[in-house]
C-alpha cells in the first residue's frame, strides 16, 4: 500500500501530466504523421466501396504537399463541417474539364494558384469540384495511401504514375 | 564528467517531453504571435512604415471555425498559398451580398454557403477582393487581444467594426 | 468557391496551355512554346459511372461503366504540369469541337460496355 501511494498514485499531478503529454504526442502524430479514417458513400465507387472502408491517410501530404495528379486525398469539404475523399485531377496551373467527359460541355479551366481540382471516381454520384469549384490546397488533410482490410492492407496506386 | 552528461541529457529529454503539449496548445487552444505587414493598418501595425516593430497578439484557436461574426479579426490559411497564415477582418458571412472593390471582376457578390468574405482594414491588402470568398474551413483562429505595444494593449473590440458594406 | 477563373473551350487548349497559373508564359527547356502533342507524354485515367443495382440492400451488386480521361504530362522550365486532353483528343473530341490534333484517340475507350463488374453476394 505504502509503495503504491508513495509511487505512482501518490503523485496524481505527475500521473496526469504524463498522460497529458502522451495524449498530446499521440494527437500530433495523428495530425502530422499518419491517421486512419472511415470512408462512407458511393462517390468513390468502384475504387472504394460504399460501406466498410477504413483508410490509412498520410498526413505528411497535408496541404497538398507532394500530392500528384491521380492521387486520392482526404479533404475538408469547403461548404460544410465534414471531410470527404476524392481523386485529384488538377493541381495549380493544370488544365481540367469543368464537367465530366461526355456531358456535352467541353469547357475547361486552369486550376488557380494554391488550389486543386478534385473529382470522385463515380462521376454521377459525386459532389466535388464540379459543384463547388477548385478547393484550396490548405483544405487537404492528407493523401489516402491505402485501405485497411481485416488482416491485410491494400495500397491505392496512382493510375497516372504507373506506366501502362 | 560522465555524470554531468547523463544528468544533462536526462533534463533535456525531460524538457523535450513538454514540446508536444506546447505545440498542441499553440495549434488548438491559443497562441501568442507577431503580426507582420500593413494589411490591417491602422488597426494593427499602425507604424508599419515608421518602424520594424510589430504588434504582438493573442490568437484564440479553440472552435475558431464556429460562430463567426462580421467584424471579427481572424487568422486563416491563405487560399493562394497553403503554407501562409493571413490575418483579415470578416466583412461578410454566407448569404450576404457584398459590394466588392477592385480587382474583383463583379460589382456585387453573394457569399456562398460555408464561405466568408474577408478584407484587410488597410488599402494595401490582398483579400477576398483578390481571391474571392474563402471557405470557413480555412479559418485557424481569432485575434482576441493585442498584447504589445502597451499603449494599444487590450481586448480586440471587433463588434465595433461591423461593416456597412455587407447586407444580410 | 475560389479566385475568379475564366473558362475556355477544349479546342483552345493548345493556346491556353501556354500560360502558367501565375500569368507567366510557359517555355520548354530549349525556349520553345509548349506543343501538347509533341512535348507532353500521354497518360490515361479511368473514372466510372456506377449503378447500384439494389440501393435498398447493403452490399448490393454494382455495375460500373468506365469513363476514360486522358492527361498529358508536360514539362516547362519551371517544372511539370498536367493537361487534361480528354475533350481535345479523346474519342468525343471530333464530334464536339473541330480542328483538334486528332490521331491520338485511343481505341475502344470512352463510355462503353461495362468492363468492371463488382459483384457481392446479396445479404439476406
| Residue C97 pLDDT > 70 | no
Neighbours of C3 (CB within 10 A): 19
**Which grid coordinates are listed for B159?**
463588434
- Which chains reach chain A with 3 or more Cβ–Cβ distances below 8 angstroms? B, C
Q: Mean of the pLDDT values across residues C7-27? A: 91
Q: Are A119 and A130 in contact (CB under 8 A)?
A: yes
Note whether B132 contacts C: Cβ–Cβ < 8 A: yes
Strand-pairing partners, residue B34, are: B56
Pick the residue of A73, A114, A115 with the most B CBs within 10 A to test the interface with B by mutation: A114
Pick the residue of C5, C47, C49, C75 with the most A CBs within 10 A to test the interface with A by mutation: C47
Q: Are A69 and A143 in contact (CB under 8 A)?
A: no
Q: Are C44 and A164 in contact (CB under 8 A)?
A: yes
User: What is the Cα–Cα distance from B77 to B128, expressed in whole angstroms?
Assistant: 13
Enumerate the domain spans of chain A.
Answer: 1-32, 35-155
Q: CA–CA distance from B13 to each of A107, B25, B58, C107 (Å)?
A: 58, 19, 29, 63
Q: Are A86 and A73 in contact (CB under 8 A)?
A: yes
CATH number of B29-167: 2.10.109.10
Q: Are B114 and B135 in contact (CB under 8 A)?
A: yes
| pLDDT score for A60 | 96
pLDDT digits (tens, 9 = 90+) for A11-46: 788 889 899 999 999 999 999 999 999 999 999 989
Contact A114 B79 (CB under 8 A): yes
Tell me how close the Cα of C7 comes to any Cα of chain B, in angstroms. Answer: 14
Q: Active-site residue A86, yes or no? A: yes
Instruction: Indicate whether C58 belongs to any domain.
Output: yes
Residue that has been written with the C-alpha cell 479566385 in this structure:
C3
Q: Are A40 and A52 in contact (CB under 8 A)?
A: no
Name chain B contacts of A81, Cβ cutoff 8 Å: 65, 137
A3 φ/ψ angles, rounded to the nearest 5 degrees: -65, -45
Range of the domain at C53: 10-99+109-118
DSSP state of A122: B
Q: Mean of the pLDDT values across residues C57-62? A: 83
Q: Which of C5, C49, C82 sits opposite A69 (nearest CB)?
A: C82
- Which chains reach chain B with 3 or more Cβ–Cβ distances below 8 angstroms? A, C
Tell me how close the Cα of A127 comes to any Cα of chain C, in angstroms. Answer: 14
Which pTM was predicted? Answer: 0.86
Instruction: Indicate whether C5 belongs to any domain.
Output: no
Q: Which of A94, A106, A159 sits opposite C81 (nearest CB)?
A: A94
Catalytic residue among A2, A35, A43, A126: A43
Top-confidence residue, B62 or C60? B62
| pLDDT score for C115 | 41
Instruction: Indicate whether C46 belongs to any domain.
Output: yes
Catalytic residue among A58, A86, A129, A143: A86
User: What is the Cα–Cα distance from B168 to A105, expressed in whole angstroms?
Assistant: 35
User: What is the Cα–Cα distance from A100 to A121, expressed in whole angstroms?
Assistant: 11
Q: Mean of the pLDDT values across residues A97-122? A: 93
Enumerate the domain spans of chain B.
Answer: 29-167
Strand-pairing partners, residue B38, are: none
Banded pLDDT at C98 (limits 50, 70, 90): very low
Topology adopted by domain A35-155: Umud Fragment, subunit A (2.10.109)
Instruction: Residue B59: name the closest of B49, B44, B47 by CA.
Output: B44
| pLDDT score for B138 | 97
| Least-confidence region, from A126-130, B133-137, C115-119 | C115-119
Strands (E), chain C: 7-9, 41-52, 62-76, 79-84, 116-118
Average pLDDT, chain C: 76
User: What is the Cα–Cα distance from B18 to B24, expressed in whole angstroms?
Assistant: 10
Q: Are C122 and C61 in contact (CB under 8 A)?
A: yes
Instruction: Indicate whether C3 belongs to any domain.
Output: no
User: What is the Cα–Cα distance from C107 to A69, expressed in whole angstroms?
Assistant: 24
List Cβ neighbours of B75 (8 Å cut-off, separation of 6 or more).
B59, B64, B85, B86, B87, B139, B140, B141, B142, B143
pLDDT digits (tens, 9 = 90+) for B130-160: 999 999 999 999 999 999 888 888 898 888 8
Tell me how close the Cα of B23 comes to any Cα of chain A, in angstroms. Answer: 8
Q: Are B57 and B132 in contact (CB under 8 A)?
A: no
Based on its alpha-carbon atoms, the radius of gyration of chain C, rounded to whole angstroms, reads: 19
Number of domains chain C is built from: 1
Note whether A162 contacts C: Cβ–Cβ < 8 A: no
Amino acid at each position: 500500500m505504502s509503495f503504491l501511494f508513495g509511487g505512482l498514485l501518490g503523485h496524481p499531478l505527475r500521473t496526469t501530466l504524463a498522460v497529458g503529454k502522451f495524449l498530446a504526442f499521440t494527437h500530433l502524430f495523428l495530425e502530422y504523421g499518419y491517421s486512419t479514417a472511415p470512408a462512407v458513400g458511393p462517390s468513390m465507387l468502384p475504387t472504394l466501396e460504399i460501406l466498410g472502408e477504413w483508410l490509412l491517410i498520410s498526413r505528411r501530404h497535408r496541404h497538398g504537399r507532394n500530392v500528384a495528379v491521380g492521387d486520392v486525398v482526404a479533404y475538408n469539404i469547403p461548404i460544410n463541417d465534414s471531410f470527404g475523399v476524392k481523386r485529384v485531377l488538377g493541381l495549380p496551373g493544370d488544365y481540367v474539364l469543368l464537367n465530366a467527359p461526355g456531358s456535352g460541355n467541353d469547357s475547361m479551366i486552369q486550376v488557380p494558384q494554391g488550389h486543386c481540382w478534385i473529382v470522385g471516381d463515380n462521376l454521377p454520384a459525386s459532389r466535388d469540384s464540379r459543384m463547388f469549384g477548385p478547393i484550396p490546397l490548405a483544405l487537404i488533410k492528407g493523401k489516402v495511401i491505402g485501405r485497411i482490410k481485416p488482416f491485410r492492407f491494400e495500397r491505392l496506386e496512382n493510375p497516372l504514375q504507373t506506366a501502362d | 564528467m560522465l555524470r554531468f552528461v547523463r544528468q544533462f541529457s536526462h533534463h533535456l529529454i525531460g524538457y523535450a517531453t513538454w514540446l508536444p503539449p506546447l505545440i498542441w496548445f499553440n495549434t488548438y487552444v491559443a497562441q501568442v504571435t507577431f503580426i507582420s505587414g500593413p494589411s490591417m493598418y491602422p488597426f494593427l501595425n499602425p507604424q508599419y512604415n515608421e518602424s520594424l516593430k510589430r504588434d504582438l497578439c493573442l490568437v484564440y484557436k479553440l472552435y475558431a471555425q464556429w460562430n463567426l461574426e462580421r467584424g471579427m479579426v481572424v487568422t486563416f490559411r491563405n487560399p493562394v498559398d497553403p503554407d501562409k497564415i493571413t490575418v483579415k477582418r470578416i466583412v461578410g458571412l454566407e448569404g450576404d451580398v457584398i459590394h466588392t472593390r477592385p480587382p474583383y471582376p463583379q460589382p456585387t457578390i453573394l457569399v456562398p454557403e460555408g464561405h466568408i468574405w474577408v478584407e484587410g482594414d488597410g488599402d494595401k491588402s490582398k483579400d477576398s477582393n483578390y481571391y474571392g470568398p474563402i471557405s470557413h474551413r480555412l479559418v485557424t483562429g481569432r485575434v482576441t487581444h493585442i498584447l504589445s505595444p502597451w499603449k494599444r494593449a487590450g481586448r480586440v473590440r471587433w463588434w465595433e467594426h461591423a461593416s456597412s458594406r455587407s447586407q444580410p | 468557391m475560389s479566385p475568379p477563373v475564366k473558362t475556355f473551350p477544349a479546342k483552345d487548349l493548345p493556346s491556353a496551355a501556354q500560360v502558367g497559373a501565375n500569368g507567366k508564359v510557359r517555355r520548354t527547356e530549349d525556349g520553345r512554346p509548349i506543343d501538347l502533342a509533341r512535348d507532353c507524354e500521354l497518360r490515361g485515367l479511368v473514372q466510372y459511372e456506377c449503378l447500384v443495382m439494389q440501393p435498398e440492400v447493403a452490399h448490393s451488386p454494382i455495375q460500373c461503366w468506365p469513363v476514360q480521361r486522358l492527361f498529358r504530362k508536360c514539362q516547362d522550365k519551371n517544372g511539370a504540369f498536367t493537361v487534361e486532353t480528354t475533350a481535345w483528343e479523346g474519342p468525343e473530341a471530333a464530334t464536339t469541337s473541330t480542328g483538334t490534333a486528332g490521331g491520338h484517340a485511343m481505341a475502344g475507350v470512352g463510355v462503353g460496355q461495362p468492363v468492371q463488374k463488382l459483384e457481392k453476394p446479396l445479404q439476406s
